Amino acid sequence: MWDELQAAASRDGVLVTVYVDAEAAGSGYGPNARQIAETLAPGKIYATKPFDGRAVRNHAKFISVDHRFVVVTSANMSWSAENANVELGVRVNDSAFSERLERQMREARGSLYSQVSSDL
């Protein structure tokens, strides 16, 4: 999945935006938020930030493609999810649903997420 996202982020006219759980991304089991931003540059990476003094956990796993298709999955973006686990996902072909989901995530920026700089 990471290779595909990196390839997509480098294509002209494609914007890759990723929302990550800052605590999970910094746990040592995979790349941290800064490394994700460097890998997917020039994509935009947003990491959870504390809200009301507590860590925000982002357990959502979905991909929106072309403001039309949404893939919702149980899979984490990890080696074990891609190679060893039994995971379940569904693809929804509904531009209205995709746009509502994307709008909801945009509205969460600032209060629940902050943009991560790749410093590249």
Instruction: Write down the pTM of the prediction.
Output: 0.86
Residue 42: helix, strand or coil by DSSP?
Answer: coil
More confident: 81 or 58? 58
91-104 average pLDDT score = 95
pLDDT digit string (tens) for 39-79?
999 999 999 999 999 999 988 888 888 899 999 999 887 77
**DSSP letter string over 82-103?**
HHT----EEEEE-HHHHHHHHH
Question: For residue 120, is pLDDT > 60?
Answer: no
Q: Which residue has the tokens 């504390």?
A: 50
Which tokens sit at 100?
A: 């509502």
Report the mean per-residue pLDDT for the chain: 89
More confident: 109 or 2? 109
Q: What is the CATH number of the domain that holds 40?
A: 3.30.870.10
pLDDT digit string (tens) for 3-14?
888 898 999 988
86-115 average pLDDT score = 94
* 26-59: b (≥16 Cβ within 10 Å) or e: beeebbbbbebbbbbbebbbbbbeeeeeeebebe
Q: State the pairing for strand pair 89-93/17-20.
A: unpaired
Residue ranges making up the domain that contains 101: 2-116
Number of compact structural domains in the chain: 1
Q: What is the predicted pLDDT for the residue at 70?
A: 93
